[in-house]
Amino acid sequence: MTTTAPLGAEERTDPATGPADGRRAVLRRIRPGNGFVFVLPFLLVFGLFMVWPIVQGLWMSFTDSSLALRDTGFVGFDNYTEAFGDPDVWSSLGNTLFFTAISSVPLVLVALAMALLVHSGLAGQWAWRLAFFAPYLLPVTVVTLIWTWLYQPELGLGNQLLDSFGMAPVGWLSDESVAMWSIAALTVWWTVGFNFLLYLAALQSLPTTFDEAAALDGAGAWRRLWSITLPQLRRTTGLVAMLQILASLKVFDQIYILTKGGPNGSTRPVLEYVYDVGFTGYRLGYASAVSYLFFALIIVVSLVQFRLFRRED
Amino acid sequence: MSSRSPLQGVPAVSDPLRRLSRRRLLRHAMAGTGALLAAGPLSGCASPASASGASALSVWDLFQGGDGMLMDEMIDAVSKGDDGFDVDRTILDWGPSYYTKLAMSAAGGRASDVAAMHLSRLAGYAPGGLVDPVDLDLLAEFGVTEKDFTPAVWSRTRHEGTVYAVPLDVHPFIVFYDKKAAEKAGLLDSSGALAPMGSPEALLEAGKALAEATGQSGILFGHVTDTAQNWRLFAGLYAQTGADFDLPDGGPARIDVDAAVRVVTLMTRLFDGKTNPNNLDYNGALAAFTGGRGGMAMLGEWELPTLKESGIDLGAAPFPQVFDKPAVYTDSHSFVLPHQEDPDPARRREAHRYIAAVLKQSLTWASAGHIPAYQPVLAEPEYAALEPQSSYADAAKVAVLDPPNWFVGAGSNFQNRMCQPLQSALLGNTSPEKAVRQMVREADALLQQPNPVA
C-alpha cells in the first residue's frame, strides 16, 4: 500500500537531527506491513475455520454432496430450486422469523425495565443484579432440563399453578399454537441478563447533569425517563436490538433439546431443518443451499437494521 | 522489515539483540504451531495402536448406562484366556449423531473393525457400501449360522441377497403391567399372566377396567415431544391389521390409508384423556407408572431395569394382539463390519470370531430385558428362569421392523416426522384422517429426495 512513501522518508532522515524527528520516525515505522506478522496466526485460524468453510459451503450448495459418500457431482442450481419449492424450508423459516419477533421485543423491553429498576437505586442491588444475570450463566442443557419439568403436562409447575387458580391445563410444549411462546418465555428468562447488563452499563455511563437540571426545573420521574434517559439510551437500544435479532435468528439448541421442532414442526427453526437434512439425512449439498438462503436473509435483515440505525444517529 | 533501519539510536525498538530474540521467538512460535498442526493427525493415527496394542480390535457401540455395563461384562468375558480378545471399545451417544459418525467413518474408509447398528438402519448403509458383507462361512466356523436366528429378524440382515449384519438382540415395544391392578381388573389368565385381548374393544375395555382398579389411570403412554414413541405404537398396531407399509424408492409410499385410519382412531379412543391420559411425555408416563398411578404402560423392554427398581409387582407381555394378525413392533441391535478401504484379512477373521463369541454371551445381555437374537440362548434353562423376560420372548417371532429405506430406522428423521401428526391426533388437535394424510405426505416427500447413501 504505502511502502514507497515511508521508505523514502526514512532515507531522507538524518541521524543527527535530534529526538523529535526520531520519534516521528518511530511512529512512521509502524506501518501496515509490520503488524501483519502479529495478525497472521489469527488470520490463519480465521481463514481455516471461517472463510474456507464459507467458501466450501457455497461450493457444496451446488453439488449433491453427501455426508456418507465420497463421490459428489455438480448439480447447478438444483438444490436451490428444490429449496424454493420445499414447504419445510418456508415453514421453518417462518418459525424462525416468528420466534425472532416474539422473543426480541420482550428481550429488549424486559432488559430495559430490569436495568432501570436496578439503576433507580433499589435496595439490595447486588441481589437484583445476580438474580437477573444468573440464568444467563447456565448452560443450555440445564436450562432446558429445568423448563422441561416446569412445562411437564401433569406434574409441572405451570399446570399446577393454573390448576390452583381453577384454570384448565395448557399443553405448553404439545399445543401447536402455544409451544413457540413457551420456548420464547424460556429464552427470555435465560438470556435477558446479557441485554440487562448492556443497558445497565449504558445507564451508569450517562451524564447525570441533564437529569439534575431537569429535576431542578421540576420535571417528574416519568418525564425525565421519557425525555432524557430513554433518548440518551438510543444508541444502546439500537445495539441491543441488533444483537438480539441476530441472536434470535440463530435459535437452535434450546428448541432442538426441548421439542426437536415439534409439535408437528411448529417450533422447528430453519437451522434445525438444515441440521436435520444435513446430518441426520446426510444431504450436505442441499443443507448448504438452505443455509445459504438463510444467510442471504440475515444479510438483508442486517442491512435494513444498519440503515435504520444510521438514520437514528 | 527493514533491517537496515537508520534508527539504531532508539534502543527500545532497534536493539539488535532484542530484535533478534523477538524474531527468533516468532519463528519458534510459528514452528511450534506448525508442529502442533502436523502432530494432530499423526497422533490421531497412532493412538489406537499405542493405547492397546496393534492387535486390539476396535469396536464402536452406542450402549450406555445399564446396557453399557452389561456390554463391558460381555467383553470382559470374551477377553479372558489365551485366545481372548484385546478390545478397544468406543462408546458413542446413541441417536442421530451415532449414525452420522458411523456413516462418516465408513465413508472415509477407516472405520472400526466392528460396530453396533440398529437393524432398521441397515437399509441406509448397505446399499451405499458403508458396511461390508458378513462372511457367513467364517461365522459358521465359529459356531454361528442362520439357523440360530428367527426368520423375522434374519430376513432383515440381507440387502440384495447378501448378509450385512449379525443380530445381537431383539428389543420389542411391549406392555408392562402392575400384576395386582391387572388381577383386580380381571385381565389375567389362570396362570397369572396377561390374557389375550383379541379385539380393539377388548383393549379399550382393559384400559377402563385398569383405571377403575387403580383409581387413577388405566394404560399409560408417554408420547408428547417424543420422536419415536407414537411411531412404535402405530407401526406395531398397523402391522397387526395385515396391511402393507412399503416405501419404494422414488415413491409414492404404499400405505393402506383405511387401515392406518383405523389404527389412529383406536389410538385416540384409547388415549381419550379420561381413562388413559393423552398428554404425557415419556418421563411423565414412566414416573406415573412407577408411582402406581396407572395399571399398564406401553414401553420398550429396555425400561425393565428401571421398572424393576420401582418395587411394583411387575408383569410384562408382548404387545397385545387386537387386530387380525400377531405382530410386535421391534428393532434389533446388531453387529456390522463398517466399510474399510483395505481390510486386513486376519483382522476381519478376528472380527467374525469376536461377533460369534459375544453372541454366545447373550444371557448376560438378556438380564437387561433384551431378547437374545441368538436362539440357542433362549433354550437354556437359565433364560427360562429370567422373569419377566421369558414371558415376552415370543415377540421375536412376530417382530416387525421399520419398512426398509435409507431414511428410516431408530433415531431417524422419518420416525420423528411420523410422530408429529400422530401426536396431534392423540392430543385432539387433528382428526385421524388428517393425521394419516399428513403421514403419507411426509413419507412421499422423503421418498422424493435423492438417496444420499447410494
Q: What is the DSSP string of B183-216?
A: HHTT-B-TTSSBPP--SHHHHHHHHHHHHHHHSS
Q: What is the pLDDT of residue A13?
A: 45
Residue B10: its chain A contacts at CB < 8 A?
22, 26
Of B5, B224, B287, the CB nearest to A174: B224
Q: Is A154–B284 a contact, with Cβ atoms under 8 angstroms apart?
A: yes
Among A309-313, B199-203, B306-310, name the most confident range.
B199-203
Q: How far is A312 from chain B (nearest CA, A)?
A: 44
Residue B107: its chain A contacts at CB < 8 A?
67-70
Q: Binning pLDDT at 50, 70 and 90, where does residue B48 land?
A: very low
Q: Binning pLDDT at 50, 70 and 90, where does residue A22 land?
A: low
Which is more confidently placed, B436 or A7?
A: B436
CB of A29 less than 8 A from some CB of B:
yes
The 10s digit of each residue's pLDDT in A269-290 is 999 999 989 888 888 999 999 9
Q: Is A260–B407 a contact, with Cβ atoms under 8 angstroms apart?
A: no
CB-based contact B329:B239 (threshold 8 Å)? yes
Which is more confidently placed, A104 or B94?
A: A104
Q: What is the pLDDT of residue A26?
A: 59
CA distance A297 to A302: 9
For chain A, percent helix, then strand, then coil, each to nearest 5?
A: 75, 0, 25
Residue appearing with cell numbers 389410538 = B267
CB of A253 less than 8 A from some CB of B:
no
Residue A153: its chain B contacts at CB < 8 A?
224, 279-281, 284
Dihedral sign, CA of B37, B38, B42, B47?
negative
Q: Is B273 left (phi over 0), alpha (psi -120 to 50) or beta?
A: left
Of B9, B29, B283, the CB nearest to A15: B9
Q: Binning pLDDT at 50, 70 and 90, where does residue A304 land?
A: confident
Q: Is A67–B103 a contact, with Cβ atoms under 8 angstroms apart?
A: yes
CB of A64 less than 8 A from some CB of B:
yes
Q: Is the pLDDT of residue B211 over 70?
A: yes
CB of A6 less than 8 A from some CB of B:
no
Write phi, then psi, for B12 (nearest 5 degrees): -55, -30
The answer to which of B14-23, B82-91, B253-262 has the lowest mean pLDDT is: B14-23
Residue B399: beta bridge partners?
Answer: B328
CB-based contact B447:B251 (threshold 8 Å)? yes
Q: How far is A237 from chain B (nearest CA, A)?
A: 36
Residue A34: its chain B contacts at CB < 8 A?
1
Q: How far is A84 from chain B (nearest CA, A)?
A: 14
Q: Mutate which of A26, A253, A282 to test chain B, going by most B C-beta atoms within 10 A?
A: A282
Q: Binning pLDDT at 50, 70 and 90, where does residue B16 land?
A: very low
Residue B429: its chain A contacts at CB < 8 A?
175-176, 263-264
Q: What is the pLDDT of residue A25?
A: 60
Average pLDDT, chain A: 86
Q: A131: which residues sit within 8 A by CB, 6+ positions away?
A: none
Q: How far is A41 from chain B (nearest CA, A)?
A: 8
Residue B407: its chain A contacts at CB < 8 A?
281
Q: How far is A291 from chain B (nearest CA, A)?
A: 18
In this prediction, residues B11-28 reach a mean pLDDT of 44
Give all strands (DSSP E) within A131-204, no chain letters.
none
Which is more confidently placed, B82 or B289?
A: B289
The predicted model scores a pTM of 0.79
Residue A276: its chain B contacts at CB < 8 A?
413
In this prediction, residues B259-282 reach a mean pLDDT of 94
Q: Is the pLDDT of residue A27 over 70?
A: no
Q: ipTM value of the model?
A: 0.71
Q: Is A176–B424 a contact, with Cβ atoms under 8 angstroms apart?
A: yes
Q: Per the structure block, which three cell numbers stand in for B404?
A: 426398509
Q: Is A263–B420 a contact, with Cβ atoms under 8 angstroms apart?
A: yes
CA distance B220 to B229: 12
Q: Is B423–A265 a contact, with Cβ atoms under 8 angstroms apart?
A: no
Q: Is B419–A15 a contact, with Cβ atoms under 8 angstroms apart?
A: no
Which is more confidently placed, B6 or A203?
A: A203
CB of A67 less than 8 A from some CB of B:
yes
Q: How far is A67 from chain B (nearest CA, A)?
A: 6
Q: What is the pLDDT of residue A31?
A: 60
Among A186-190, A230-234, A303-307, B16-20, name the most confident range.
A186-190
Among A57-66, A123-132, B204-213, name the most confident range.
B204-213
Q: Is the pLDDT of residue A33 over 60?
A: yes
Q: Is the pLDDT of residue A79 over 50?
A: yes
Q: Binning pLDDT at 50, 70 and 90, where does residue A96 land?
A: very high
The answer to which of A41-45, A173-177, B293-297 has the lowest mean pLDDT is: A173-177
Q: Is B423–A264 a contact, with Cβ atoms under 8 angstroms apart?
A: yes
Which is more confidently placed, B120 or A264?
A: B120
Q: What is the pLDDT of residue B3?
A: 38
CA distance B211 to B219: 7
Q: Is B429–A176 a contact, with Cβ atoms under 8 angstroms apart?
A: yes
Q: Is the pLDDT of residue B52 over 50?
A: no
Q: Mutate which of A63, A95, A279 to test chain B, going by most B C-beta atoms within 10 A?
A: A279
Residue B166: beta bridge partners?
Answer: B335
CA distance A233 to A203: 7
Q: Is the pLDDT of residue B361 over 80?
A: yes
Q: What is the pLDDT of residue B265?
A: 97
Residue A2: its chain B contacts at CB < 8 A?
none
Of A67, A173, A286, the CB nearest to B225: A173
CA distance A284 to A66: 5
Q: Is A282–B452 a contact, with Cβ atoms under 8 angstroms apart?
A: yes
Q: A264: which residues sit within 8 A by CB, 6+ positions away?
A: A176, B420, B421, B423, B424, B429
The 10s digit of each residue's pLDDT in A133-190 is 999 999 999 999 999 989 988 778 999 999 899 898 888 888 888 999 999 999 999 9
Q: Is B96–A280 a contact, with Cβ atoms under 8 angstroms apart?
A: yes
Of B5, B107, B423, the CB nearest to A70: B107
Residue A279: its chain B contacts at CB < 8 A?
96-97, 100
Residue of A nearest to B130 (CA): A68
How many CB pairs below 8 A link A and B?
A: 128
Residue A79: its chain B contacts at CB < 8 A?
none
Q: How far is A262 from chain B (nearest CA, A)?
A: 6
Q: What is the DSSP string of A290-312?
A: HHHHHHHHHHHHHHHHHHHHHHH
Of B8, B103, B411, the CB nearest to A68: B103
Q: How far is B293 from chain A (nearest CA, A)?
A: 12
In this prediction, residues B129-148 reach a mean pLDDT of 94
The 10s digit of each residue's pLDDT in B27-43 is 444 444 444 444 444 43
Q: What is the pLDDT of residue B6?
A: 37
Residue B103: its chain A contacts at CB < 8 A?
67-68, 282
In this prediction, residues B339-351 reach a mean pLDDT of 91
Residue of B nearest to A279 (CA): B100
CB of A282 less than 8 A from some CB of B:
yes
CB atoms within 10 A of CB A268: 26
Q: Is B103–A37 a contact, with Cβ atoms under 8 angstroms apart?
A: no
Q: Per the structure block, which three cell numbers stand in for B324?
A: 387380525
Residue B336: beta bridge partners?
Answer: B115, B165
CB of A168 less than 8 A from some CB of B:
no
Q: Is the pLDDT of residue B262 over 90?
A: yes
CB-based contact B153:B170 (threshold 8 Å)? yes
Average pLDDT, chain B: 86
The answer to which of A229-233, B20-24, B61-65, B68-72 has the lowest mean pLDDT is: B20-24
Q: Is A280–B281 a contact, with Cβ atoms under 8 angstroms apart?
A: no
In this prediction, residues B193-217 reach a mean pLDDT of 95
Q: What is the pLDDT of residue A222?
A: 87
Residue A260: its chain B contacts at CB < 8 A?
225, 227, 416
Q: What is the pLDDT of residue A38?
A: 86
Residue A12: its chain B contacts at CB < 8 A?
none
Q: Is the pLDDT of residue A69 over 90?
A: no
Residue A219, Cβ density class (10 Å: 0-12 exposed, 13-18 middle, ≥19 buried): middle
